[in-house]
Amino acid sequence: MNQIVSIGTSHHVAPVEFREKLAFSEEQLIESLHHLRESHKVDEAVILSTCNRVEVYGVAHSQRTTESPFKVLLDFLSNYHRISVDTLKKWSYRHHNLDAIQHLFRVTSSLDSMVVGESQILGQVKDAFDFSRSAGGAGAILNRLFAKAFSVGKRIRSETTIAAGAVSISYAAVELAKKIFNTLEDKTVAIIGAGEMSELTAKHLVANGVSKVIVANRTYERAVKIAEKFKGIPIAYEENLNFLIDADIVISSTDAPHYLIERKPLAEIMRKRKHRYMFLIDIAVPRDIEPDVSKINHAFLYNIDDLEAVVASNLKERQQEAVRAEQIVSEEAKRFHDQLQILEVNPTIKALHQQFQQIAECELKACLGKTTLSDTQEDAVASMTQAIVKKLLHHPVENLRHAVNDGNADHGQYVHALQELFALDNNDDKDQA
């Protein structure tokens, strides 16, 4: 029977030192896929190579029973990257059939990712698959398998909240802004001080529609330098915080030892901006914004701990959701596995039907040639032959399907026996394509 195997390594089992040795560049991918195909030891292959994982999926069609596809892939990887088979075995996982299917589904559903529910992996697998397909690696079975894996990935995302809720500080800030403002389109963000986190948050806000960026710094030169990144407006501030009148979102991350924004002056600023909402994010330690600011009407203050609590609870929730997602993945993998097996016996069933049909037609022709029957009589004889063919085949076909559905591992033997006994010329590669 067809075998689906996968061998791979990821951040779960191997350190980066090993993963980088196993990684493929684009040229290497083309070369490897060609090599694998030319070797005629596996029939289909897809290679996935990202910074967190390298995985090779292979399919060996039923005719090949000589060499284990695992061994083929292991040998190939070991030769290609000049790593001993033992080392490879130590730092990798190997999955077979149902397990391989389930593993791929887990990967595309981002259940196997470092951050569960992250959104990039689905695109990465898609790219890898498209690449392998255009390089001639993927065939009928892997096409089906990956198409299903993508739909499972999407299903998990829509039916669970595994990908909901921001799991980084900067996204949490964007999500919060969306809960406060009707729209971000005409809003202004002010960054006070410098820092990677505040710049990242500003970047996400701009990507979500914020139209204006004010960059405030103690020195004008630094403000200009940071402002360049966002096409922002540089401002040098001393004690005067009047630029906040225009700011709807304020991100503060200075290294000032005291509060930069205090309640009273901010209340005055809020009055000047006609009490439009202001969302203040204090990611500085020690804090830049007096906590009492949150008592001002329409001013919403979140500090670094608040944001981290949001992130932590979202992460926790994703993990809870992951349990449900795993269930869906198991069900889908089982179903796909069964379908694949039914698909495997279909060509045999078809060939059997064809053979019986042919014999029936042949004999019918011979018989009708010898007799003179009316049209209605001829029709009756023809439908009788059809009925006989149908009834003869009913039990063998049904039992074969049952053997597959019940997960009876012997169905391969059944297929083999049928092919031998009825001398079927079974070419299932063609039929499945």
Min CB(200)–other proteins separation in Å? 19
Window contacting other proteins (CB under 8 A); options: 156-164, 200-208, 376-384, 405-413: 156-164
Interaction of residue 166 with other proteins, rule CB under 8 A: yes
Closest approach of other proteins to the CB of residue 249, in Å? 12
> How many chain residues interact with other proteins (CB under 8 A)?
33
Please report how close the Cβ of residue 274 comes to other proteins at its closest, in angstroms: 3
Least Å distance between CB 236 and other proteins? Answer: 29
- Kindly state the tokens that stand for 255: 């290294």
Q: Select the residue interacting with other proteins from 49, 109, 170, 314 (CB under 8 A).
A: 314
Is the Cβ of residue 306 or residue 361 nearer to other proteins in the bound state?
306
Residue 370 in the binding site for other proteins (CB under 8 A): no
Q: Give the separation between CA 80 and CA 77, rounded to whole angstroms.
A: 5
* Binding to other proteins, residues 323-342 (CB under 8 A): 324
Choose, from 15, 16, 20, 51, the residue flagged as catalytic.
51
Closest alpha carbon to 2 in 116, 100, 124: 100
Nearer to other proteins, 117 or 347 (CB): 117
188 counts as binding other proteins under rule CB under 8 A = no
Residue 294 vs 330, nearer CB to other proteins: 294
Of residues 47-106, which lie at the interface with other proteins (CB under 8 A)? none
Nearer to other proteins, 12 or 271 (CB): 271
Q: What is the DSSP string of 160-176?
A: S-TT-S--SHHHHHHHH
Query: Token digits for 302?
Result: 């979140």
Minimum CB separation of residue 94 from other proteins in Å reads: 34
* Residue of 10, 132, 160, 426 that binds other proteins (CB under 8 A): 160
Strands 233-236 and 212-217: parallel
* Binding pattern for the stretch 289-308 against other proteins, x by CB under 8 A and - elsewhere: -----x--xx-x-x---x--
| Residues of span 244-283 touching other proteins by CB under 8 A | 274-277
Q: What type of residue sits at position 20?
A: E
Residue where the block lists tokens 């809003």: 187
Closest CA to 139 of 4, 277, 49: 4
For the chain, helix, strand, coil in percent to 5 are: 60, 15, 30
Name which position in 118, 317, 338, 431 contacts other proteins (CB under 8 A).
317
Q: Which of 134, 240, 313, 413 binds other proteins (CB under 8 A)?
A: 313
User: Shortest approach of other proteins to residue 300 CB, angstroms?
Assistant: 6
Residue with smaller CB distance to other proteins, 46 or 152: 152
Task: Report residue 343 as tokens.
Answer: 């698909």
Rounded Cα gap, residues 169 and 317, in angstroms:
16
Report the alpha-carbon distance of residue 310 to residue 403 in Å, rounded. Answer: 51
Distance CA 22, CA 32 (A): 12
Per-position b or e across 233-251, b if 16+ CB within 10 A of its CB: bbbebeeebebbbbbbbbb
Q: Which of 29, 36, 38 is nearest to 130 (CA)?
A: 29
Per CB under 8 A, 175 contacts other proteins: yes
CA 289 to chain centre: 41
Cβ atoms within 10 Å of 87's Cβ, excluding its own? 14
User: Do the beta carbons of residue 230 and residue 215 sit within 8 Å?
Assistant: yes
Of 156 and 215, the one with the shorter C-beta distance to other proteins is: 156
Tell me if residue 362 is catalytic: no
- Give the Cα-Cα-Cα angle 97, 99, 101 (nearest 5 degrees): 70
Shortest spacing between CB 291 and other proteins, in angstroms: 12
**If we measure between CA atoms, which residue out of 190, 363, 203 comes closest to residue 282?**
190
Q: Between 324 and 416, whose beta carbon lies closer to other proteins?
A: 324
Contact yes or no for 73/56 (Cβ under 8 A):
yes
Catalytic machinery residues: 51
Residues that bind other proteins (CB under 8 A): 158-161, 164-166, 175-176, 178-183, 274-277, 294, 297-298, 300, 302, 306, 309-310, 313-314, 317, 320-321, 324
